[in-house]
Amino acid sequence: MEMLERLAGLMEEHKDDLVESLMINSGKTRSQALGEVNASIDRLRRADLDARKIYGEYMPGDWDPTTIETEAVVRREPFGVVLAIIPFNYPLFDAVSKFAYSIVAGNAVVIKPPSADPIPVLLFAKLVEESGFPREAFSVLTIPGRESDRLIADRRIQVISFTGSSMTGKKVIQTAGIKQFIMELGGGDPAIVLPDADLDFAAERIAAGIYSYAGQRCDAIKLILVAEEIYSEFKDKLVSEFSKVVVGDPRDEKTTMGPLISPESVDEMMKSVDEAVKAGGRVLCGGKRLGETYVEPTLIEILDKNALRSLKLYKEEIFAPIVLITSFSDLEEAIELANGRSYGLDAAIFGHNIDQVRKLVRFLEFGAIYVNDMPRHGMGYYPFGGRKESGIRREGVGYSIEYVTAYKTIVYNFREKGGVEVSVGNGLLRSLCIYLSARCRWDTSPEAHLQRMCARRSSRSRPFLSAANPPPYQHNPWPPCKVGHESFRLHRPTESSAQPP
């Protein structure tokens, strides 16, 4: 933990350099880059919440005849080597987060940075080295994704923590074979607007959830479902919010949305716009290319539900500031449209009718649901991860660490060796009998109980309790003891029992 604190301090010292790298290499606005750097520093300093999850368990035996006079300790141990595959959209934070929970558990870490914007990860690696972290337990491999198969399949790597597309995630699993996986995959979230929602607030938050970092976020909103009775009013408010977006150089303080990561991403977005228009969609705002990697945030209305379901924008995740909007007549239709996509990362609900909100929460098939806010994973205080094709397991403070540690069970056999060796007159045993007499209201004296118990044969000679031979009460039996060399087990008598066992 001291090393992580030193590393956090170094990141504070070099904050301006890290912010600059995210602006130039990743295309983030200054506020977005600063937010990612601050979240990364906080993540290191809250690794103590991860460490608190590394604890074991003690398990008493005597569950059945095979476990009599045994006990176990269940430990948590590091797997060994964790491979962290970093996405381009949050290169610094994801590298820091995966590094933190992996090394707190005692693992070595190999980081594969994104090919599109590796500089923030390389700067972080330099700071890790300066912090004094053992060089043999940390490495960064700057290789293209297409050349990563040998790395992914290496048997020395026991855990793969991957953030990226569902398609790439499937390939990683197929190539890696049997390993532990933490996978935060595709998203593209739906937002559902109920009739009693605050429309101004909902429009502002949903718009931000679409254009923030140019829609290149796993938790970006890609589908808006609006109740019919408020559809027109809400649509107008959302268009108004889109008109406020300033697209431009992310280094300009006035810019609210910067570029996409590559020209190919813009090409894919424009093809999706053309497909939607041909299927009957209507571009309400945006839809234009402004340069090699710049686009307008785009809102497309499509009311035909069958046409909606056929669109690439509905079936796949397009990493761009583009969203579909349509109406719904009742909650069942909203649920069906939201769940109809192959992804299940996050969903947003705007409204105050608690019965409707609770129904949506119950039936929406998503890893996280945000009520009256846009989806945003932030620093990871709340665990996030998807269902269906959106991932395996969870990222989050105090959660991811569970998947980079292995359970190890150690069973001790004390049969004929353990137990409490006491004589019949032992004061501790006599005190126990007095306590049991008082608690169970036995009519005979403690001395009589003592004589009965010592006269019994070993508990191993008794038939084991089962469904056909149930105990006289429903609580766990007292633990086995030894008097001389004879084992006995104490049971609470039933109301109808005249004598103790």
Homologous superfamily of domain range 2-185+399-409: Aldehyde Dehydrogenase; Chain A, domain 1 (3.40.605.10)
For residue 493, what pLDDT is reported? Answer: 42
In three-state form (DSSP H/G/I as H, E/B as E, the rest C), the secondary structure along 287-341 is CCECCCCCECCEEEECCCHHHHHHCHHHHCCCCCCEEEEEEECCHHHHHHHHHCC
Query: Pick the catalytic residue: 57, 69, 71, 218?
Result: 218
The answer to whether residue 454 is catalytic is no
CA–CA separation, 69 and 418 (whole Å): 7
Burial bucket for residue 153 (CB in 10 Å: 0-12, 13-18, 19+)? middle
For residue 214, what pLDDT is reported? Answer: 97
Mean pLDDT score across all residues of the chain: 87
Checking if the pLDDT of 476 tops 70, the result is no
Please name the amino acid found at residue 449: H
User: Mean of the pLDDT values across residues 361-374?
Assistant: 97
8 Å CB contact between 294 and 321: no
Pick from 279, 316, 278, 313: which is nearest to 299 by CA? 313
pLDDT tens sequence across 343-360: 999 999 999 999 999 999
Q: How many CA atoms lie within 13 A of 324 on its CB side?
A: 35
Output Rg (C-alpha) for the chain, integer angstroms.
30
For residue 423, what pLDDT is reported? Answer: 40
Checking if the pLDDT of 499 tops 50, the result is no
| Distance, CA of 441 to chain centre | 52
For residue 422, what pLDDT is reported? Answer: 38
Checking if the pLDDT of 110 tops 70, the result is yes
The domain limits of the chain are: 2-185+399-409, 189-380, 421-488
The CATH classification number of 189-380 equals: 3.40.309.10
Query: Pick the catalytic residue: 36, 184, 389, 402?
Result: 184
pLDDT tens sequence across 127-169: 999 999 999 999 999 998 888 999 999 999 999 999 999 999 9
Structure pTM? 0.81
How far, CA to CA in Å, does 351 sit from each of 89, 208, 362? 30, 18, 15
Residue 384: DSSP 8-state? B
CA–CA separation, 473 and 356 (whole Å): 45
Q: Token pair of 99, please?
A: 């590094």
Provide CB contacts within 8 A for 158, sequence distance 6+: 79, 80, 81, 82, 179, 180
For residue 1, what pLDDT is reported? Answer: 86
- pLDDT confidence band for 461 (50 / 70 / 90): very low
Please name the amino acid found at residue 324: L
CA–CA separation, 197 and 81 (whole Å): 48
Percent of the chain's residues with pLDDT above 70: 83
The answer to whether residue 218 is catalytic is yes
